Structure 1
Amino acid sequence: MSATHTFSSLVPDVILDAVESTGLWSDSRIYPLNSYENRVYQVGIEDSSPVIAKFYRPERWTEAQIREEHDTLLALQEQGVPVVAPLAFEGKTLFLHNDIYFALSAKLTGQHPEADNLDQLYQLGERMGQLHHAMPTPFTHRISVSPLEQIEQAGAQILAGEHLPQRLKTDYQKQISRLHEMSAAQLNVYWPTELRAVHGDSHRSNLMLHNEEFHLLDFDDCQNGVAVQDLWLHLTQTENPRQQLSEMIEGYETYLPFDTRELGLIDVFKSARIVNYAAWLQQRWNDPAFVKAFPWFTSEEYWINHLNELKSCELEWGNMSR
Structure 2
Amino acid sequence: MTNTNLPDSFAGLTPELVLDAVESSGLRSDGRMLALNSYENRVYQIGMEDDVPVVVKFYRPLRWTDTAINEEHDFVRELLQHEIPVVGAMQTADGSSLRHYQGFRFALFARQSGRAPETGDAATLEWLGRFIGRIHAVGALASYRERPAINPETFGVQPRAWLLAHDFIPPDLLPAYESVSQQALDGIQRCYERAGDVQPLRLHGDCHLGNVLWLESGAQAGPHFVDFDDSRMGPGIQDLWMLLSGDRQDMQRQLTDILAGYEDFFEFESRQLYLIEALRTLRLIHYSAWLAQRWSDPAFPAAFPWFNSQRYWQDRILELREQVALMEDAPLWPV
- Normalising by structure 2, we get a TM-score of 0.91
CA distance in 1, matches of 2:168, 2:121: 38
CA distance in 1, matches of 2:68, 2:196: 25
Compute the RMSD of aligned alpha carbons: 1.8
1:140 corresponds to: 145
Q: Does 2:317 match 1:307?
A: yes
CA distance in 2, matches of 1:30, 1:215: 24
Map Cα deviations across residues 236-261 of structure 1 (whole Å, 9 max, x no partner): 13422221111111110110111111
Q: CA 1:306/1:4 → structure 2, altered by over 3 Å: closer, same or farther?
A: farther
Q: Does 2:332 match 1:321?
A: yes
2:304 corresponds to: 294
Give the deviation of 1:37 after TM superposition. Answer: 0.5
Give the deviation of 1:221 after TM superposition. Answer: 1.1
- 1:197·1:224 contact (CA, 8 Å) conserved in 2? yes
Q: Does 2:254 match 1:244?
A: yes
CA distance in 2, matches of 1:67, 1:192: 29
Q: CA 1:58/1:154 → structure 2, altered by over 3 Å: closer, same or farther?
A: same
Paired residue for 1:229, among 238, 241, 260? 238
Structure with the higher helix share, 1 or 2: 1
Percentage identity across paired residues of the two chains: 36
Q: Does 2:26 match 1:23?
A: yes
Give the deviation of 1:157 after TM superposition. Answer: 1.8
1:192 corresponds to: 197
Structure 2 residue runs without a partner (length 5+):
none
Structure 1 residue runs without a partner (length 5+):
none
- 2:7·2:103 contact (CA, 8 Å) conserved in 1? no
Map Cα deviations across residues 141-183 of structure 1 (whole Å, 9 max, x no partner): 2212222442122222222222211111111111011111111
1:71 corresponds to: 74
CA distance in 1, matches of 2:272, 2:53: 41
Q: SS of 1:231's equivalent?
A: helix
For 1:43-58, list aligned pairs within 5 A: 43-58=46-61
- Normalising by structure 1, we get a TM-score of 0.95
Give the deviation of 1:3 after TM superposition. Answer: 8.1
- 2:6·2:103 contact (CA, 8 Å) conserved in 1? no
Q: CA 1:293/1:65 → structure 2, altered by over 3 Å: closer, same or farther?
A: same
Paired residue for 2:265, among 252, 255, 260? 255
Paired residue for 2:184, among 166, 179, 184? 179
Q: Does 2:131 match 1:127?
A: yes
Q: CA 1:214/1:204 → structure 2, altered by over 3 Å: closer, same or farther?
A: same
Paired residue for 1:99, among 103, 114, 131? 103
CA distance in 1, matches of 2:31, 2:240: 39
Q: SS of 1:298's equivalent?
A: coil
Question: Is the deviation greater in 181-190 or in 23-32?
Answer: 181-190
- 2:248·2:332 contact (CA, 8 Å) conserved in 1? no
CA distance in 2, matches of 1:48, 1:181: 54
Give the deviation of 1:279 after TM superposition. Answer: 0.7
Amino acid across the alignment from 1:8: A
CA distance in 1, matches of 2:273, 2:64: 30
Question: Is the deviation greater in 70-79 or in 259-268?
Answer: 70-79
Give the deviation of 1:55 after TM superposition. Answer: 0.4
CA distance in 2, matches of 1:148, 1:321: 24
CA distance in 1, matches of 2:254, 2:105: 39
- 1:148·1:272 contact (CA, 8 Å) conserved in 2? no
- 2:47·2:53 contact (CA, 8 Å) conserved in 1? yes
Q: Does 2:119 match 1:109?
A: no
Q: CA 1:172/1:116 → structure 2, altered by over 3 Å: closer, same or farther?
A: farther
- 1:4·1:286 contact (CA, 8 Å) conserved in 2? no
Q: CA 1:5/1:188 → structure 2, altered by over 3 Å: closer, same or farther?
A: closer
Q: CA 1:108/1:193 → structure 2, altered by over 3 Å: closer, same or farther?
A: closer
Question: Is the deviation greater in 167-176 or in 190-199?
Answer: 190-199
CA distance in 1, matches of 2:252, 2:109: 37
CA distance in 2, matches of 1:197, 1:191: 19
Give the deviation of 1:232 after TM superposition. Answer: 0.4
2:221 corresponds to: 212
For 1:265-304, list aligned pairs within 5 A: 265-304=275-314
Question: Is the deviation greater in 109-118 or in 63-72?
Answer: 109-118
CA distance in 2, matches of 1:131, 1:66: 18
CA distance in 2, matches of 1:85, 1:111: 19
Question: Is the deviation greater in 192-201 or in 312-321?
Answer: 312-321
CA distance in 1, matches of 2:196, 2:280: 15
Q: CA 1:171/1:52 → structure 2, altered by over 3 Å: closer, same or farther?
A: same
Amino acid across the alignment from 1:132: H
CA distance in 2, matches of 1:260, 1:42: 41
Equivalenced residues, count: 322
- 1:238·1:320 contact (CA, 8 Å) conserved in 2? no
CA distance in 2, matches of 1:160, 1:71: 36
